[in-house]
Amino acid sequence: MSIVVTGATGHLGRLVIDAVLSTHPADSVAAVIRDKEKAADLAERGVELRIADYNHPETLAGAFERGDRVLLISGSEVGQRVAQHTAVIDAAKAAGVAQLAYTGVLGGDEADFDLAAEHKVTERLILDSGLPYTFLRNGWYTENYTANLAPVLAHGTVVASAGDGRIASATRADYAAAAAAVLTGPAEEHLNKTYELSGDTAWSLAEYAAEVAAQTRREITYSNVPAEEHLAILTGAGVPGPFAEILVDVDRAVERGALARRTGDLSRLIGRPTTPLTTTIAEAIAVS
């Protein structure tokens, strides 16, 4: 039996592997990856590499073994994820894995924004498979904002269409620690359970802009624009139209409060408070 992480060379996947290795030996961990070269550092640490591709179901035949505890990290290709996830679920079922954890989206069936649609379908497919599951419904990553500090600092403004909506974000490392906890903890505590994961504190984009201003000692404002204008700004900056529409739709969800939900599940799973917004902003500024 191994602890298996799919998408292990992505931002979240690497952090999950790190968190698991902090408590478990490398020979108990396997990484499902597409590119062996990108995972060379994991192999050097003793992690087993299993080569497979979500887009090629036949390659998943040897990705899992009976009794494995598996984390399915959702694919990043919006519009293709249902087919990709179906291939993983089918392979996991055929292998007889002991647990299939899945990184969905905060709110699950209640999430009413476009980006949630494929996550909801995936959860239903997992339930229909009969596999023992754990749903990790991740809220927004703070890095979704701090990774884009360069244009904010260059123009002195945070541009969005989220109104005064609040976001209970957490860092990728926080979510990764939660995934590691459910993969390595006693199985009976986490099987067939759903966790709504979000940060301890919800903040607005106006507050985000004010914190960036305070830490950089620059004038940074929040510019709340109509959705149509926001879409034009994004596409004008080179964001592909379909993805720009998703981002604007997420801002509508933020304005409705869909990403402000706080249950405490995340801090309980990781055994500490979630990472404050101020800390993540400081770290981003330090490398900007």
pLDDT tens profile 169-179 = 999 999 999 99
Is pLDDT at 116 greater than 90 in this prediction?
yes
Confidence of residue 76 (pLDDT cuts 50, 70, 90): confident
- As a whole-number percent, the residues of the chain with pLDDT over 70 amount to 100
120 and 20 within one domain: yes
Confidence of residue 51 (pLDDT cuts 50, 70, 90): very high
Q: Establish if 267 belongs to a structural domain.
A: no
43 and 15 within one domain: yes
111 and 190 within one domain: yes
80 and 44 within one domain: yes
Mean pLDDT of 5-25: 96
Beta strands (DSSP E) in the chain are: 3-6, 29-33, 48-51, 69-72, 99-105, 133-138, 157-160, 166-167, 193-197, 203-204, 221-224
Is pLDDT at 31 greater than 80 in this prediction?
yes
Number of domains in the chain: 2
Is pLDDT at 79 greater than 80 in this prediction?
no
160 and 89 within one domain: no
Tokens of 22: 């902090």
125 and 13 within one domain: yes
Confidence of residue 185 (pLDDT cuts 50, 70, 90): very high
* Cβ–Cβ under 8 Å, residues 140 and 105: no
Domain's final residue, options 181, 197, 213: 197
* Cβ–Cβ under 8 Å, residues 54 and 36: no
Q: Establish if 113 belongs to a structural domain.
A: yes
Q: What is the mean pLDDT of the chain?
A: 96
89 and 77 within one domain: yes
pLDDT tens profile 195-212 = 999 999 999 999 999 999
Query: What are the residues facing 222 on neighbouring strands?
Result: 158
153 and 255 within one domain: yes
Rounded distance, CA 20 to CA 17, Å?
5
Range of the domain at 124: 3-139+172-197
Tokens of 48: 């087993």
219 and 124 within one domain: no
Show contacts of 77-80: CB within 8 Å, 24+ apart: 78/115, 78/118, 78/242, 78/243, 78/246, 79/118, 79/242, 80/55
**What pLDDT does residue 128 have?**
98
103 and 125 within one domain: yes
Lowest mean pLDDT among 77-81, 139-143, 271-275: 77-81
Q: Establish if 219 belongs to a structural domain.
A: yes
27 and 125 within one domain: yes
Q: What pTM does this model have?
A: 0.96
Q: Establish if 266 belongs to a structural domain.
A: no
